[in-house]
Structure 1
Amino acid sequence: MVRVKYLSIVFPVLLTLLGTNAQQTKKFFRKDYTYLTTTEAFYKIHTIGRTWSEAKQRCEMEGASLFYAGSDDEANDVISWWNQTQPFFALWVGITDFLVMDVYETIDCRPILEVYSNWGPGEPNNAGGVEDCVQLYRNGNLNDDNCGKKYPFICRKTLESLQWNTECNLPDTDYIYNEALEACYKFHIDPKNWTEAVTVCNAEQSYLAVINSQMEADYLVKLTEDAKKDKVSGLSVTGAVSLGFHNRDGGGWKTIKCSPLEDCGYAEWGNQQPDGGTNDTCGSMFYNGRLNDVACHHKLFYICEHDVRNKTLSEPLDEAFNQYTT
């Protein structure tokens, strides 16, 4: 009995460690990131311009952070890669003077003098008194600019910081694997409106959850029940979580995978639902598992889902696990 209890505690930890080591050896984080051997980090250039805060948030959604160069060598390597792949002249980096004017620090609170700090001529100059965020030019110079402007940006994930959720085959250890459903789920307790929730799930390489069976509905009810959500503020609607179905085009309720809701295996609406007409065109689930329509701008909890059907462990991991289960 003691051996079984011990394994129940140690095995998940071992699984994560072995999976992390395997991914670090493979030098893989996400398909949309490029690994640079010289810097031992992964990078992604976002070509759609965002404000500085939006850029920082997007990187965090992807499990990375807004890039800044930690050294001259990293700056040179990343700028070389940037110049070979993209044409734009400037991008946001993770440096600001938000805390105190003219005291520039990185997003992880490092003084700028400890990292790459090659300011352009006459910079920083806080032109107009509104320049608190830093951008990098393709020639290597730094410049301060208005944080509300939209520029491309680079997200970075260091190899050293990489962790791997082996059961879910994701670099996000907050996803929980359900063997019976062959899927992983993550309950988000930071309220978002429906489109924001779709964006977050997509950034996590997942999708806003879709219920395909009574078993899955029961599981999401339990997941919701167990979530530490009682003291969270910012909710527009209580007693429901956003899910991946909608009627935003007025053509009938469908899942985010474009299938009619009635064909997905579960279409159990709550009492007298849907009842919102053209005002409530996004989907949610009451805490009891029944479906509900809701206005898309309302902020709710939400659940992301990641399919892992036909998932198999690699042979090296199987061999490592065998010694703890025989």
Structure 2
Amino acid sequence: MVKLLTKGILTLLYLTSVAESREFRFDYTYNNDTEGWWKLHRIPGTWNEARLRCHAEGAVLASPLNGHMLRVMKTIMTTNSLQRGIFSGIHATLSKAVYTSVEGVPLARIPVSWAPGEPDNYENNESCLLLSPNGTMADVNCTKVFPYICYKKDTQSVVQPECGTIDTEYFLESRTGSCYKFHYIGQTWHQAYMTCAAEGGHLAIINGFTEAQAIKELFAKYPANTIMAFGTYSVFLGFSDWNKDNTWVTVHGETLGYNIWSFNQPDKSQQYDLVMGQWCGGMFRWGLLDDMWCDVITFPFICEKSPDSLLPKA
């Protein structure tokens, strides 16, 4: 009983009412002392995966930049029994042994201490910092996997009522009732899938001719010279040949609502190679479907979200 009460008290120290988190997104919780929102990712990831996920959610990989933030992070670990610790946003991936947070705050200005025997830079290959529940730090290999916390500072960002997000690049398409965002900085299909999910949506799914026209018009707004990707002639969308048997389904596991392929497509280039084959879906600039390499080269992509996907359920 005492242990449960202690956990409850610790939780109250950093949580305010869930209602306050509605100003950002439903899966983040606001804390007054740190003037920002917090979210724990229990599923472990590499440091770079953690950084990218937090960034895609509109936040940063959390670091204990001050005493208040350190207390919140320790409390989250304690209440969730994360005894091994969590990745912090403090790293030296840009220059060996030059540690800063992802916001650029140098380690010397961050109120943490090293765990016994740390840092040891084991095998000269440890450039990320792990925060333990007792508040001490240890250097670890960035490719190892640990849970992590994302933090969004309250900067008076205004949530768009039409799309329910602070991301101003999303817009509501009246013809479909969905919100869309064109990512002109290319990624692989799997990276794009993660980015859209983190933004509260999914890779865009074309449900019919009207939506196909809307997607085609959106793509046309970005000429090839404005796109930062290897491929500029097609855009990744939310469908793939999951089983590699020419059965194309959406990322929601449904059959294609729009199934108009371009000439000679799908051609399954290098189909003899299960790794390099074109198993992911997209659209050519002229509005017809294309089978594309999932992870070989980067392409632009389009995310789709419902206006209420980041809002709490009523």
Alpha-carbon distance between aligned partners in 2 of 1:72 and 1:187, rounded to the nearest angstrom: 39
Cα offset, 1:72, TM superposition: 1.7
Q: Write the distance in 2 (CA, Å) between the matches of 1:60 and 1:87.
A: 23
Q: Distance in 2 between matches of 1:229 and 1:36?
A: 43
Give the 3-state SS of the residue equivalent to 2:304 in structure 1.
strand
Q: What secondary structure is seen at the aligned counterpart in 2 of 1:49?
A: strand
Match of 1:243 in 2: 237
Aligned to 2:260: 268
The 5-angstrom pairing of residues 123-202 of structure 1 reads: 123-160=118-155, 162-202=157-197
Match of 1:93 among 72, 83, 88: 88
Whether contact under 8 Å (2:163, 2:179) holds in the other structure is yes
Whole-angstrom distance in 1 between the partners of 2:162 and 2:268: 39
C-alpha displacement of 1:41: 1.9
CA distance in 1, matches of 2:220, 2:80: 47
Q: Does 1:307 align with 2:306?
A: yes
Q: Calculate the TM-score normalised by the size of structure 1.
A: 0.79
Aligned 8 A contact 1:45 1:153 in 2: yes
Q: Which has the higher helix share?
A: 1
> How far does residue 232 in structure 1 lie from its aligned partner after superposition?
4.1
Q: CA deviation at 1:158?
A: 1.6
Deviation of the 1:149 alpha carbon: 1.9
| 1:38 to 2:37 alignment | no
Aligned Cα RMSD in Å? 2.6
Instruction: Supply the distance in 2 between the matched residues of 1:243 and 1:134 (Cα, whole angstroms).
Output: 36
Identity across the alignment (%):
33
Distance 1:111 1:309, change over 3 A: closer
Q: Mark the runs of 5 or more structure 2 residues left unpaired by the alignment.
A: 1-17, 272-276, 310-314
Are 1:163 and 1:172, in contact at CA under 8 Å, matched by a contact in 2? no
SS at match of 1:55: helix
Cα distance change of structure 1 residues 164 and 196 upon mapping to structure 2, 3 Å threshold? same
Q: TM-score, normalised to structure 2's length?
A: 0.81
Q: Structure 1 stretches of 5 or more lacking a match? A: 1-23, 311-326
Q: Which has the larger radius of gyration?
A: 1
Q: Distance in 2 between matches of 1:228 and 1:158?
A: 34
The one-character-per-residue Cα deviations of 1:49-68 (angstroms, maximum 9, x if unpaired) are: 22222211111111110100
Asked whether the equivalents of residues 21 and 28 of structure 2 are also in contact (C-alpha less than 8 Å), the reply is: no
The AA in structure 2 aligned to 1:167 is E
Residue equivalent to 2:9: none
Report the residue type matching 1:302 in the other structure. F
2:90 and 2:166 map into 1 onto residues whose CA distance is 25
Cα offset for 1:144?
1.5
